[in-house]
């Protein structure tokens, strides 16, 4: 297992609001981790994981403040976090802009993309599973069209969130 996988998972959990177990349950952690590593390179990933580890050790208001100052206000780290949130919730990766690579990361964009012809600043769906397991529909108590069908007539039923039922 890669040394930063658990840091990636902890950061993803913090950014999405889903537990590490829920994220593991999508079956996408390794694919998303490899995608991120490919897109930002070793040096930037070291900065991302060391910063997030420090921030996530804090609790309560201290953690909120550190997230705002160390991650959300960072022109290097925040675009990565935005792309991670989009990846988990929408099942698509938004590549960093050309300016991000040039001025903030100071690296060249990866020359071999998981999808050919996807330039910096553009988006792509990394796999069919990324579409079917996106968290946005799960959070809405729904499923992506064409995936995880719930049966004929299910569109006429109210969504159920968690374990709540009208019998409780």
Tens-place pLDDT, residues 47-84: 999 999 999 999 999 999 999 999 999 999 999 999 99
pLDDT-based confidence at residue 112 (cuts at 50, 70, 90): low
Mean pLDDT of 118-143: 88
Number of other CB atoms surrounding residue 121 within 10 Å: 14
Q: What is the model's pLDDT at position 165?
A: 47
**Distance between CA atoms of residues 21 and 141, nearest Å:** 18
Q: What is the model's pLDDT at position 160?
A: 67
Give the position of tokens 């991670």. Answer: 84
Of the CA atoms within 13 Å of residue 71, those in its CB half-sphere come to 23
**Distance between CA atoms of residues 161 and 168, nearest Å:** 13
Of the CA atoms within 13 Å of residue 2, those in its CB half-sphere come to 18
The percent of the chain in helix, strand and coil, each rounded to the nearest 5, is 55, 0, 40
In degrees and rounded to multiples of 5, residue 134 shows phi and psi of -55, 140
- Please count the helices (runs of H) and the strands (runs of E) in the chain: 8, 2
Q: What is the pTM assigned to this prediction?
A: 0.85
Question: Does 114 have pLDDT greater than 80?
Answer: no
């Amino acid at each position: 297992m890669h040394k930063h996988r658990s840091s990636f998972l902890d950061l993803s959990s913090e950014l999405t609001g889903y537990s590490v177990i829920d994220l593991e349950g999508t079956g996408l952690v390794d694919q998303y981790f490899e995608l991120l590593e490919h897109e930002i390179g070793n040096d930037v990933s070291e900065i991302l994981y060391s910063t997030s580890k420090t921030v996530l050790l804090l609790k309560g208001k201290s953690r909120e403040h550190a997230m705002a100052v160390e991650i959300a206000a960072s022109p290097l780290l925040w675009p990565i976090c935005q792309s991670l949130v989009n990846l988990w919730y929408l099942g698509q990766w938004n590549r960093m802009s050309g300016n991000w690579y040039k001025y903030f990361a100071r690296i060249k964009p990866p020359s071999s993309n998981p999808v050919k012809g996807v330039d910096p600043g553009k988006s792509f769906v990394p796999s069919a599973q990324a579409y079917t397991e996106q968290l946005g529909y799960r959070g809405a108590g729904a499923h992506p069209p064409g995936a995880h069908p719930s049966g004929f007539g299910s569109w006429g039923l109210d969504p159920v969130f968690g374990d709540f039922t009208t019998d409780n």
